Amino acid sequence: MYVTNGTDVLTRVLVSKPDYLKAARINEIAKRWDLDLDLEKMKKEHQLFTDAYAKAGVKVEYLDSDPKRPNSVFSRDFGGCVREGYVMGRFKLPIRYKEHEDYKKKMADLGIPCLGEVKHGFFEGGDFMFINDHTIAIGMLDRTNEEGFEELKAILNPLGYALIPVKADPRYLHLDMCFNLVDPTIAVAYVDGLPKEFIARMQDLGIRFVTVEEEDIFHHGCNLQAIGDHRVLSLASNKKVNKQLTEMGMQVIELEITEILKAGGGPHCMSFPLERRK
């Protein structure tokens, strides 16, 4: 068994270091910053990030960095992992194409079976969000399309997973930038930017919302990483969100990360869960 859902105890995660990361203007966040990033600062930030995982009892696996895939630090995006194995996605932009083969080989080295691949449409893992053990929300913003969604359904429906399409403004890039389940009944989200029927369905499932403003999306206000047992990795800059989560009984582990964020991804984007347990 690999990943049971999105909020059980995380025991193993796959990451990649930002050794060749550039702030390529391929998303709305990166467009706001200069192209030059401070490499030494990014390395220190990533070390703080992986140290936080280790301290929380999470084993960290690494895909070696490579100048031919500068954005592989955002490991979340190559696919999605469920109980039976993982689904390989398909990137929309050429700058990320080499990640297909390298992450696929790494997953084989780790002994995690590939359940199928999205080969015709587009699907990126930032759009893959467990709601519960058998329900997965799939964002359809800028990087995942209808054809990719249908391919995912064909792979995961026979295994008993129900997929919910969630459409939102392409400027938000991925679903995990505007909606993130951080505990079984708590989500951080820009509610006004999500379909009303989706919000109503989440409320019917007993999910409570910590809400953010639209501008918070571009500062990674929703891009948190659940690690189970009511614990979550967040950014130190997410003061309002962190305060509300603490008041709701969550243990918030704050990360002093600012430089890596300029390329368009936060703690959730930099984490590909390999194993979660009840």
Q: How many Å apart are CA 87 and CA 79, to the nearest integer? A: 6
Q: Are strands 86-88 and 114-117 parallel, antiparallel or unpaired?
A: parallel
| pLDDT (0 to 100) of residue 26 | 60
Each residue of 64-77: pLDDT tens digit?
999 999 999 999 99
| pLDDT (0 to 100) of residue 208 | 97
Say whether 23 sits in a helix, a strand or coil. coil
Each residue of 32-57: pLDDT tens digit?
765 679 999 999 999 999 999 999 99
Question: What are the extents of the domains in the chain?
Answer: 9-277
Give the homologous superfamily in CATH for domain 9-277.
L-arginine/glycine Amidinotransferase; Chain A (3.75.10.10)
- Residue 22 pLDDT more than 70? yes
Residue 235 φ then ψ, to 5°:
-90, 145
Q: How many Å apart are CA 101 and CA 112, to the nearest integer? A: 15
Each residue of 134-153: pLDDT tens digit?
999 999 999 999 999 999 99
Average pLDDT over residues 265-271: 96
Structure tokens at 203: 């409320």
| CB-CB neighbours of 230 under 10 Å | 17
